[in-house]
Structure 1
Amino acid sequence: MGDIEAQENNRSRQTIFHSLLASKEFITSRKGLLLLGEVVMSFISFVCFAASTAAAFVTAPLIELLAALFLLFAYSTKFNERFKGFHWPLMDFLRCVSASIIFFIISIISVSKYVDGASKAAGVFGFITTIFFALDFYFIFNELANFLKGGDSSEEPPNTQDDDSDSDSD
């Protein structure tokens, strides 16, 4: 009797553990790869800013790293499907737009104002991170635009005739 209960308890632990793991399908998708790139580049920028004299800018990469990690976790475990109250693509779009603007600004300041090598490296990695976030918000914008149009943009709109047409073809 004790063995059956132990097996059921072990299975429930395994299902909980598997629900927390990232799905391979999402990680290999375009969105998953972009989020993974954002996490990696934000971490590298965070480390470079922390090691440089431009350490005042260390907060922005850290916040973006945590936000990208949260969304990577949410999308890969389908956490976003459980909470339908949020409009996840819009929230992700605003995150990417603000991150790309902030990374672009702090990278320009880091490269132009500070002279040490770590600040220059932080600026260069910040520019690369800006590209990742900009690509992500470009793809999200296209998806949101297609959603608001009501379908796929590759489909042709149906032919409709004007009410004012004078053709009497029967």
Structure 2
Amino acid sequence: MGDIEAPNSTGQQQSVFQSILPSKEFASSRKGMLLIAEVGLSFISFVCFAASTAAAFVTFPLLEFLVALFLLFAYSTKFNERFKGFLWPLMDFMRCVTASIIYFIISIIAISKYVDGSSKAAGVFGFIATIVFALDFYLIFNELANFLKQGGESTEETSRQQDEFSDSDSD
């Protein structure tokens, strides 16, 4: 009776929380699973590097965690479809390429140079992150290549242009 909260306030808070999380359809898609893995591995690498003597490498996993978290949010809420000015697949491709290269380098350094266990764990999770990011940029590259092969040309226009070109050559 003297309750300050409205009876529907917990349901409203729950729906707000659910709107932040990715949808089930996106989370079960290939891109969703890769982004969730990238977020998780980047966070684990960040924590391991923060606890290790190789704390100089903590910046990159943190930045990659934040960028992957933003892209997970952007793709799951279709935020990327509202901003057509950005080349989202190309930006995602460049992010994955640079992340896989840098994770590979800092993982090699963390495992070979530092002797504490958390540095070794950060290196191992970095190698796993390297594989996930490399898989992601490989899949993005294949999608971009297929788009570029099909996107610029329609079959009717190319056949008409070829017919016109062959007619002008025969004259």
TM-score of the superposition, structure 1-length normalised?
Answer: 0.78
Counterpart check, 1:56 vs 2:56: yes
Structure 1 position 22, deviation (Å): 2.1
Aligned partner of 2:92 in structure 1 is 92
Q: 1:1-170 residue pairs with structure 2 within 5 A?
A: 17=16, 20-150=20-150
CA distance in 2 between partners of 1:103 and 1:55 (Å) = 14
CA contact (8 A) 1:46 1:62 kept: yes
CA distance in 2 between partners of 1:20 and 1:82 (Å) = 17
Kindly provide the CA deviation profile for residues 64-91 of structure 1, in whole angstroms up to 9, marking residues without a partner as x. 0000000000000000011111010000
SS of residue matched to 2:26: helix
Percent sequence identity over aligned pairs: 76
Change (3 A) 1:115 1:19: closer
CA distance in 1 between partners of 2:119 and 2:35 (Å) = 24
CA contact (8 A) 1:93 1:141 kept: yes
CA distance in 2 between partners of 1:21 and 1:32 (Å) = 12
SS of residue matched to 2:53: coil
Q: Counterpart amino acid of 1:111?
A: I
Kindly provide the CA deviation profile for residues 99-152 of structure 1, in whole angstroms up to 9, marking residues without a partner as x. 00110000000001111111111100100000110000000000000011016x
- Structure 1: any 5+ residue segments left out of the alignment? 1-9, 152-157, 164-170
CA distance in 2 between partners of 1:116 and 1:133 (Å) = 26
User: What root-mean-square deviation, in Å, do the aligned CA atoms of Structure 1 and Structure 2 show?
Assistant: 2.4
CA distance in 1 between partners of 2:56 and 2:19 (Å) = 38
CA distance in 1 between partners of 2:105 and 2:22 (Å) = 33
- Structure 2: any 5+ residue segments left out of the alignment? 1-8, 152-157, 167-171
Paired residues, what number? 147
Q: Counterpart amino acid of 2:31?
A: K
CA distance in 2 between partners of 1:19 and 1:39 (Å) = 18
Which aligned segments of 4 or more residues in structure 1 are displaced greater than 3 angstroms? 16-21, 158-161
CA contact (8 A) 1:21 1:77 kept: no
Change (3 A) 1:92 1:56: same
Change (3 A) 1:141 1:44: same
Aligned partner of 1:3 in structure 2 is none
TM-score of the superposition, structure 2-length normalised?
Answer: 0.78
